[in-house]
Structure 1
């Protein structure tokens, strides 16, 4: 199977995906608060430690009433850069159940840089005006954060009040494709009318924090692609300055893949492109394979860690993704 559109773990699809794909730390508390029991409103029901150098500690005073909308406050203000508007963040997150009053966090991040949180509600509300280094506390309804069913794996019901602590680590990469002049990307080398590689002559070495660059070489006349579709395409991928592709399908046959299950550079770079188009993409590491190193297969070169990826993609068709069986 191809290297380029290999399925990946996508944390940016929404809060529910974030929590279902990662191990949940479930604590079984003895005290259960019903809807008729005494509760308090807002942040008076709990104390959360403010030292961002340490994982937050949690002490309950009382159950917290279910909020109509998220309530947010900054416990500790960071001194890092402000998170750009409409940009997701990487953050360490901690979730406590303010209805059952379990002593342990129902969920806490394990990765050093935390999870990538999307710029969608309720995260956009919680992270409005956030800066790197902030510790933010929020009171959120379980339905708003996890959907109507809650999350039984985390011991969270469908109408539980959640206390969420967010330690902001860094801004997520800009996923917006930037349409550039064709001279900014390498030329496609062809043989017998099919792409065989890229010519990087005159193209400067890319920076790790470059944006997602796109060139529509030929615009098709089909429907615009949406991220919930399965796209069939021919493609060729190379790293900067490489002599050979690390993967390609032009010598074989077009490959179908669910657009929301590939590297973010493909997902965002192909969204809105018309079927029948030829597209060039320059994908920065954070929207590709990041710090992962991909070994070569069958005599093809591998992908070094933190590589910028270059693709030529011919979109053959796009159709609805089959529902999971």
Structure 2
């Protein structure tokens, strides 16, 4: 008999795929499983400032400065020299005696929030404007695009990550970073007017952050379903005497307080997969910060079962083969005609970038 974990595989899909509209250093690629049909999406990305973004200049709050100031940049040691005005929710006005620079990434909260704390590797949803401290000009602004953007802090420039780690949802944060924490390693970002050595300023409004695990109100499942137990916040499933259903079963185990998942979303989840026929754990995606992908690319059972569930929830799905892998799957190994049981923590959801 195969031991319970001998067939276990790390989550083969939903590889880091949050495709931000801006802040992208690399284009979306693919990381398909051998079958090309794993439950997750196959796209991936690395958000940071995009070389394709056209500098708007609209968020700069000084008079129109010269693109190439003739005077040397003044080194500042704190953010008192930078003025930010305007109401939260609107594009801010940023002023300083340009050009300026800073030796170490520094941040401060301009308007405090009261939400969950941002972990250094968290996925966040933010509005922001980026200012080149050499010219005083904006090189990127989600305010100008009219839509907040989401990305993992593991995929942005170091200064952005340092500036947001430890802050809270609802905070409006001023960050200034030296070129060494921005684009010096790439020689700058000439497409958006950033030279090597330029310090950058960001004003960031933190709108949301991914959960680390499911969090909310416990839901008692009805009798007759597989039994879910939890140890060290990791779920386990025992099929036992449960009767195999012929149609999809969607059973919330924890009801989260976040937004409802839509069919257009990119989601971040932790999940585990069991085969009904032999009660085996066949896929384990519960470590780390979870995996991400677009709802448009998941199996039919996930599309039907997760739409309408709330972020923060833990959901058990019992998925018949017709809504999963009717012909079987190579990675993870799934037999033809197998019914699958998933336990899924919904950590984050945001409308996918077009």
Shared fold, TM over 0.5: yes
Which residue is 1:158 aligned to?
196
Q: Is 1:112 equivalent to 2:160 in the alignment?
A: no
| 1:279-290 equivalences in 2 (<5 Å) | 281-284=342-345, 287=348
1:137 counterpart = 2:174: yes
Following superposition, the deviation at residue 52 of structure 1 comes to: 1.0
CA distance in 1, matches of 2:273, 2:328: 24
Q: 2:124 aligns with which of 89, 112, 120?
A: 89
2:327 equivalent among 247, 251, 255: 251
Give 1:36-185 correspondences, 5 Å limit.
37-41=72-76, 42-49=78-85, 51-67=87-103, 69-78=104-113, 80-86=114-120, 87-102=122-137, 105-109=138-142, 110=145, 112-118=147-153, 121-146=158-183, 148-149=185-186, 150-174=188-212, 179-183=234-238
Paired position in structure 2 for 1:266: none
Q: Distance in 2 between matches of 1:52 and 1:132?
A: 13
| Structure 1 residues 51 and 84: CA distance shift in structure 2, 3 A | same
Q: Is the 8 A contact 1:209 1:284 kept in 2?
A: no
Of 1-10 and 132-141, the range deviating more from structure 2 = 1-10
- Counterpart secondary structure, 1:62: coil
Deviation at 1:167, TM superposition (A): 0.7
Offset at residue 60 of structure 1 (A) = 2.9
In structure 2, runs of 5+ residues without a counterpart are 1-35, 58-63, 215-231, 259-268, 275-279, 292-297, 306-316
Rounded Cα–Cα distance in structure 2 between residues aligned with 1:125 and 1:51: 24
Tell me, yes or no, if the aligned pair for 1:236 and 1:250 is still in contact at 8 Å. no
- TM-score when normalising by structure 2: 0.53
Higher RCO (Cα < 8 Å, 6 or more apart): 2
- Where 1:207 maps in the other structure, the secondary structure is strand
**Counterparts of residues 5-44 of structure 1 (less than 5 Å):** 5-8=40-43, 10=45, 13=46, 17-20=47-50, 23-27=53-57, 30-33=66-69, 37-41=72-76, 42-44=78-80
Q: 1:161 to 1:146 in 2, by over 3 A?
A: same
Higher strand share: 2
1:212 equivalent to 2:270? Answer yes
- Deviation of 1:95 after TM superposition, in Å, equals 0.7
User: Judging changes above 3 Å, is the alpha-carbon distance between structure 1 residues 115 and 75 closer, same or farther for their aligned structure 2 residues?
Assistant: same
State the alpha-carbon separation in 2 of the partners of residues 250 and 64 from structure 1: 61
Distance 1:65 1:291 in 2: 36
Q: Give distance in 2, aligned partners of 1:21 and 1:183.
A: 50
Cα distance between partner residues in 1 of 2:50 and 2:323? 31
1:93 Cα shift? 1.6
Cα pair distance change 1:200/1:249, threshold 3 Å: closer
Q: Using the alignment, how far apart are the partners of 1:111 and 1:189 within structure 2?
A: 47
Q: Please report the TM-score for the alignment, with normalisation by the length of structure 1.
A: 0.57
Aligned residues: 244
